[in-house]
Amino acid sequence: MRAGFTSLDREVVAELAVRGELPPWLSGTLVRNGPAKFESGDRSFRHWFDGQAMLHRFAFGGGRVAYRNRFLETPSLRSVRDRGRIAFGEFATDPCRSIFARLFARSATSANANVNVLLGDDRDQALTETPIAVRFDPDTLATVGLTPSDDTIAGQVTTAHPHVAPRTGDLVNYVLKFGRRSLYQVYRQRGDTRELLAAVPADRPGYLHSFAITERHVVLVVFPFVVNPMSFLLRGKPFIENYRWRPELGTRFVVLSQEDGSVVADGRTAACFAFHHVNAYDEDGRVVVDICSYPDASVVDALYLDRVRGGAELPLAFPTRYTVDLVGGAVRARRLADEAMELPRISYRAHNGREYRCAYGVGAHGNARHDFLNQLVKLDVRSGRTTTWHEPGRYPGEPVFVAAPDARAEDDGVVLSVVLDAAAGRSCLLVLDATTFTELARAEVPHAIPFGFHGQFAAR
């Protein structure tokens, strides 16, 4: 699986050989995002999350699959590739080699948007956790430019997982502004116009990679992996190394009204950590929030490149349901299944923020911790039943659900996943029947695609 953490320098355009049969209705484009360059000159980036962004486009139509890949042309990439210098701070890599150099370095925000993408509605963008999105052409993947900054809701950290509000269609996200009292600024966006919905103060803000939304609420889950903002100025460490695990703080659930931004509930439960929410919905005076939950934040350290390449044990996340009472804020938790799950996806258009049954993710065969994520998982969140896809020596990425145009059931459609064949040193795009979780087809890619993060499908 080391090929999944090896730089890919090739940019190709190719018609892929398809084994099996694609559904005749599958027409559209899957664009995936992730790191693809892990070195600069004689230096290496330190963490999986630091690699320079590359987009991968799979175009479906008439039973065929066309592929192309392309780096995002950002100031960060140009410095790394053309000058052999890491000039921008990344998640866990400091651009400066010494304390002396750091004293004279100008602070710079990276535009290495390697986490997720938005597609359609004239907002084709690559996203990361800084408030700088990178616009790209959805057909050629050519970089168009950086999005202009929005000084009306300024901050230093955001998520690459904005949500579409189920009732209004607004795009909802938050920007974290560091200060003596930091603020989680939750906003909604229509077109290019942003409107502040709520500002939630925090003395020690936590690292939030994602958040939850329901039809009526926004839920911020603040894990006790927190930072003193002064550390960024005084410690001289890469971004994430300023955070500290403080389990005594517990995990905070802040439920906000989408109507007026008021705090509806603010409760705490035992310490946990997560990157990804599965889904959330309103239910009889409660909010149900499903999360891929870790017992602590040790997974952040486990994903340093020297550790994952060296076969260190990988902490596992398990799908866990948290129920927040809107009167009193009491929080109850229960595990939904004993099968590990990460990078979760659902039938988003139909069930985002609403009650649902099916979730899809990646997991670890036999819940083994000595290998990387090596199986796909389908979870029935009501019964806890799981179905898996696994082939020895193959490592699937995030499963993207695509509904059939005449879908009659929640899982009527296909699941798309980029799978690395470790022995062959190349990847394929796997297409599973989402109902039976059996293979329909696979399209062979001419090289290994490094392990990526997230992608989106746009029908046509």
Q: What does the pLDDT look like over 434-458, one tens digit per residue?
A: 999 999 999 999 999 999 999 999 9
- Per-residue pLDDT at 101 exceeds 50: no
Which residues in 306-325 are b (16+ Cβ under 10 Å) and which e?
A: eebeeeeebbbbbbbbbbbe
For 353-385, write each residue's pLDDT tens digit: 999 999 999 999 999 999 999 999 999 999 999
Q: Residue 112 in contact with residue 77, Cβ under 8 Å?
A: yes
pLDDT of residue 107: 42
Domain boundaries defined on the chain: 2-459
Query: Phi, psi (5° rounding) for residue 134?
Result: -120, 120
Burial class (CB in 10 A: 0-12, 13-18, 19+), 348: middle
pTM for this structure?
0.96
Q: Facing residues of 360 across strands?
A: 345, 378
Average pLDDT over every residue of 62-70: 97
Average pLDDT of the chain, as a whole number:
94
**Is residue 41 scored above 80 in pLDDT?**
yes
Residue 104's pLDDT band (boundaries 50, 70, 90)?
very low
CA 273 – CA 208 distance, rounded (Å): 9
Q: Which residue type sits at 409?
A: A
